[in-house]
Amino acid sequence: MKLNPQQQAAVDYLGGPLLVLAGAGSGKTGVITQKIKHLITKVGYPAHQIAAITFTNKAAKEMQERVAKMLPKAQTRGLTICTFHSLGMRILREEAAHIGYKKNFSILDATDSAKIISELIGGSGKEAVFKAQHQISLWKNDLQTPEQALINAQNDWEHQTAQAYASYQATLESYQAVDFDDLIRLPALLLADNSEVRNKWQQRLRYLLVDECQDTNTCQFTLMKLLTGAEGMFTAVGDDDQSIYAWRGANMENLRKMQQDYPQMKIIKLEQNYRSTARILKIANKVIENNPKLFQKTLWSQFGMGEIVKVVACQNEQHEAEWVVSQIVKQKLVGGDKTQYADFAILYRGNHQARTFEEALRSARVPYRLSGGQSFFDKAEIKDVLSYIRLIANPSDDPAFLRAITTPKRGIGEATLGKLNAYAHGQECSLYEAAQSEEALAQLNTANRSHLQAFMQMMEGYRARAESDEAGDVINDLLDEIGYEAHLLANEEGKAGEIKWRNVSDLTAWLARKGEEDGKTLLEIAQTIALMTLLEGKDEEETDAVKLSTLHASKGLEYPYVFLVGCEEGILPHSDSVEEGNVEEERRLMYVGITRAKRQLTLTHCIKRKRMGSWQFPEPSRFIDEMPPEDIKILGRKGGDPVVSKEEGRSNLASLRSMLAAKKS
């Protein structure tokens, strides 16, 4: 990779803390990976003293692959490239004793956490549970303890939620479990309170590279500062114009705080864009300049002006979807083998907008991929199997115990579990320990006691095997013994059971490969399984398909052809954001959407749209008015050019279908 002068300066600088303001498409990942190479080969840092921290597993994987191509394996041994959550888990595993945890603590996912919170607030419905769960997450990300949240509560709901937060945290501690927020919160608190542990990790990780620093929340920013110390040997890369995650606790003000905390910090701007045409960047710059700036920068490109940007007014949402799909089909046919379906993206503000586009794509027989679909690890059958693996890793994991012992059914019902739970609560022990207690077993009838003892004997056998036997053998034998395939086939209609069993087979095959490649036992794999999303997105990467995505999920991606749809007041900007005074973040969302496009950008809005069963007539987005008029062409509005001519409108769909049929034959 040939670096421009600004990129090279960012790679070379080691005089202290460095903030790299990396505009969209400016090659920030290349800068980070080149700096890793520079630190190892030119400066002499041992790889195990360098950590690059990202926000997603996908970004970490991309960095790992780039570094692997640049340096031999021997030079990168011990190099850390991971997410904030993975680094936090690594610290917690090693330092668990300092916070009263065992090394093999459990990690609860969002579903497990929701179950606990639901019980604490009295099962008030999914929406109430989600709202409480989200608020507790925000408190944790802001490093507020339950006691502080209670003091700061502004109303009765916050007061009740703060009380639930305290009980929730006590429950996690009794389960020897943490949630995802704790993976960063607990290490931050530990390093802040324990100078010995803090010094140990500062010596171990002597140089940090932090990606997307504008998206850090208070907790992540605090952990970063604690790891880098007063010297601040770090390179932080970010873009205040792409800060779009305030709703999950991200605080763009951290960029300002960074300047205050490190007055000696150097700032380097990356403004040359290697993705988009000059016209697309001109429009993006004009829109985002309406936001107040932490740092001034202007993106530019050497790719020429490029095509004019179309702004298309559609009659309604069905017309919008059909028109967009017709344009994709037409361009795909014209482009031939040089144009792939994967070159096209349809981006929208909210998931609810996807349905009409899915229908139109299906009707036109165009393959597509929906971003933000259900995670592989969120599938019920995968969670069933993982509950056994979690229980093998941590017998104190009560949620895993409850799921495993009741799936498949084995004659152990609510009455038995109720008695076990009452005993465990009274003795302050786990359900697993209760199930091994003669006193607790004595409270059960003969049949229930026999079923429970059989389950416990089986689990003890597999726990012993998990420490030494091949991971694939252990899990396959376990699934055979519990009859999980038969359970799926018996409880699912049609081919659903077969599909679910194939998913389980994919999981077990992956576990087996993981054991063989890394030389790890099932017990070792199980201790990190909650963070694994390796199987997610596998099919997506291998399939030629149009991408349907929210603007939030599109960040970091790029496409030759982008359709930014639903550009209306009430959608983009969202009505809630307008009411709450958060238009600036909505403008950053528009900026992110515009800068995903490489060659061609089209914006659409509807003249009328049906909401709650009645027609509404939304105004075009205010952000369209902020675009330079000489660089956009408005179609379909009163006084503007028609979307299509009458003749084209009558024959368009028929001709496209005939062309597609001829191409297939």
What residue ranges of the chain are covered by domains with CATH 3.40.50.300?
5-91+185-270, 300-367+544-654
Q: Which among 38, 85, 290 has a CA at the least distance from the CA of 184?
A: 85
Q: Is 27 annotated as a binding residue?
A: yes
Q: Is 28 annotated as a binding residue?
A: yes
Q: Is 29 annotated as a binding residue?
A: yes
Question: Which pLDDT band, with edges at 50, 70 and 90, does 653 fall under?
Answer: low
Q: Which among 241, 219, 181 has a CA at the least distance from the CA of 555?
A: 241
Task: Please state, in angstroms and as integers, the Cα–Cα distance from residue 339 to each residue in 275, 304, 379, following that order.
Answer: 17, 21, 34
Q: Can you tell me the mean pLDDT for 43-52?
A: 95
What residue ranges of the chain are covered by domains with CATH 1.10.10.160?
106-175
Whole-number pLDDT of residue 58: 84
Say which of 109, 181, 182, 212 is annotated catalytic: 212
Quote the tokens at residue 377.
């690890």
Q: Can you tell me the mean pLDDT for 108-130?
A: 83
Element (DSSP H or E) covering residue 159: helix 156-174
Q: Is 278 annotated as a binding residue?
A: no
Radius of gyration of the chain (CA): 27
Q: Which residue has the tokens 């000059």?
A: 278
The yes-or-no answer on residue 240 being catalytic is no
Instruction: Please write the tens of the pLDDT for every residue from 560-610.
Output: 999 999 999 999 999 999 998 999 999 999 999 999 999 999 999 999 998
Q: Is the pLDDT of residue 534 over 60?
A: no
Helix 496-518 / helix 380-393 crossing angle, nearest 10 deg = 40
The yes-or-no answer on residue 28 being catalytic is yes
Q: Is 22 annotated as a binding residue?
A: yes
Say which of 349, 390, 596, 609 is annotated catalytic: 596
Q: Can you tell me the mean pLDDT for 360-376?
A: 79
Q: Is 554 annotated as a binding residue?
A: no
The answer to whether 223 touches 141, Cβ cutoff 8 Å, is no
Whole-number pLDDT of residue 372: 60
Say which of 28, 282, 332, 547 is annotated catalytic: 28
Rounded CA-CA distance 397/431 in Å is: 8
Question: pTM value?
Answer: 0.79
**Domain 106-175, CATH:** 1.10.10.160
Domain 377-537, CATH 1.10.486.10 — does that match? yes
* Average pLDDT of the chain, as a whole number: 88
Rounded CA-CA distance 516/175 in Å is: 31
Enumerate the H helices of 428-559 as residue ranges.
431-435, 438-441, 446-466, 471-482, 484-491, 496-518, 522-526, 538-542, 551-554
CA dihedral 173, 174, 177, 179 (to 10 degrees): -60
Say which of 6, 7, 29, 161 is annotated catalytic: 29
Strands laid side by side in the 632-635 sheet: 368-370, 546-550, 344-348, 559-564, 597-606, 309-314, 632-635
Q: Is the pLDDT of residue 374 over 60?
A: no
Instruction: Please write the tens of the pLDDT for every residue from 165-204.
Output: 999 999 888 888 899 999 999 999 999 999 999 999 999 9
Say which of 211, 240, 568, 585 is annotated catalytic: 211
Rounded CA-CA distance 172/107 in Å is: 10
Kindly report the three-state secondary structure assignment for every residue of 516-548.
Answer: HHHCCCHHHHHCCHHHCCCCCCHHHHHCCCEEE
Record: fold of 300-367+544-654: Rossmann fold (3.40.50)
Rounded CA-CA distance 399/57 in Å is: 25
Rounded CA-CA distance 416/209 in Å is: 52
The yes-or-no answer on residue 242 being catalytic is yes
Q: Is 24 annotated as a binding residue?
A: yes
Any residues with CB less than 8 A from the CB of 233 and at least 6 apart, and which? 14, 16, 17, 206, 207, 208
Whole-number pLDDT of residue 72: 94
Q: Which residue has the higher pLDDT, 613 or 242?
A: 242
The yes-or-no answer on residue 409 being catalytic is no
Q: Is the pLDDT of residue 645 over 60?
A: no
Q: Is the pLDDT of residue 393 over 70?
A: yes
Quote the tokens at residue 539.
């099919």
Record: fold of 5-91+185-270: Rossmann fold (3.40.50)
Helix 28-38 / helix 57-70 crossing angle, nearest 10 deg = 50
DSSP 493: -
